[in-house]
Amino acid sequence: MSLPEAEKENNQPEGLDDGVKSGNATIKLIAFVSLAVLVAFLFKTTGIGYYFSREFIENLLTQMGSFAPLGFILVYTVATVLGVPGTIITLLGGVLFGTLLGGVLVVIGATLGACGAFFVARFLARDFIAEKFGNAKWFRKLDEGMERDGMYYVLFVRLVPVFPFNGLNFASGLTKIRFRDYFIGTAIGITPATFIFVNAASKAAEAAAGEGGGAGLYISFALLGILILAPMIYKKYKNRLKTDHRGAS
């Protein structure tokens, strides 16, 4: 590079790079929002939702034969990335594969899908959010906390499902949490609830076929009830702590 060219490069306005970064962040955000709107539009106006229905998944897995477990993981992964609620697919896993294999397949599919959604939000929306709220005290505190203790936070909210699973996938990608921490917290955190749902579905299917029931069925549904009530119990406990704190102050 010649001297004049070097001087010209060094004399570039300092704000130029910031402007380019800001423009790129905005473009990525527009792409993220457009993608979300497109997915919602397709689900509302076309029959794409059928491909995540029980009927279609059962037929697909039947045709896949010995590759059915891989097909189930793929369907669950894609559904999670697209934000499709996974409850029906989770229950179907218990019906088709039983408690043990079904639970393992759901954990793998849900974790892979959660990671996919995480990366979509991290790549397309993180820069804009950091630029928009980076100077806000509450955001810096959240960002630093997620970077430092993100795994424990994700682990907790996965164990006690107080936030929607799909929403948390995308929201986590907007923070500074390390992917490793997010992955570990998700994989471990969703396992108990997954096996409770899958076991309940498996026991119910066995009872409907006249092959089971009794104490195992009642226990599985009791655990399912506790899991469903857990967010409400946690919310009441948290509100009580706030009330006691205000009364003491």
Query: What confidence tens digit (pLDDT) does each residue in 65-111 have?
Result: 999 999 999 999 999 999 999 999 999 999 999 999 999 999 999 99
**Domain segments of the chain: what residues?**
3-248
Q: How many CB atoms lie under 10 A from the CB of residue 87?
A: 11
CB 72 within 8 A of CB 105: yes
Running DSSP on this structure, what letter comes out for residue 12? Answer: S
Predicted pLDDT at 160: 79
Query: Which parts of the chain have pLDDT scores under 70?
Result: 1-20, 211-218, 221, 223-224, 226-235, 237-249
DSSP secondary structure string for all residues of 59-113: HHHHHHGGGHHHHHHHHHHHHHHTT---HHHHHHHHHHH-HHHHHHHHHHHHHHH
What is the average pLDDT score of the chain?
A: 84
Residue keyed to tokens 């066995």 = 206
